[in-house]
Amino acid sequence: MTKLTGKCLCGKITFSADTDIKLMANCHCSDCRAATGAAYGTLVFVAADSLKVSGTPKVFHHKADSGSDMEKHFCPDCGSQLFGKNSNRAGMVSLRAGVLDQTDLVKPTVNVYLSSKIASTPVDSALKGFEKMPG
């Protein structure tokens, strides 16, 4: 088990999880790029029932290109995106790596949505890569 903690930029929303990390991925989809304002988002997938949140994030709902229902949870004051849910991954939550306190644990193992990455974004060729989201 790994203890994960994190917070938004203003500190009004904090979270913790005692859990195993299921997957860590760099996502290059246009939704992650737009939501983060970055070239890609790094996601840490954990069991949803392990997540304890202090404060009330705002939730944005949208559809992914796969048709799945997506949720983006963010601070209503500072706008920091904290975590998300995907209806195709029941029981899982994705934590945004940039808000974690344990940055030494951030070691993605895969790149997804390479089909929509920004052309100039460097990609670690040692990581598995997928044109879309596998499975």
Mean pLDDT by 10 residues, the chain (135 residues): 96 97 95 93 97 98 90 97 94 97 96 96 95 83
**Domains in the chain: ranges and CATH:** 2-129 (2.170.150.70)
- The closest alpha carbon to 35, from 67, 60, 6, belongs to 60
| pLDDT value of position 134 | 80
- CA atoms within 13 A of residue 67's CA, in its CB half-sphere: 0
Give, for 69, the enclosing helix (H) or strand (E). strand 69-74
| pLDDT value of position 135 | 66
* CA terminus-to-terminus distance, the chain: 25
| pLDDT value of position 32 | 92
| pLDDT value of position 67 | 86
| pLDDT value of position 1 | 87
> pTM for the complete prediction?
0.93
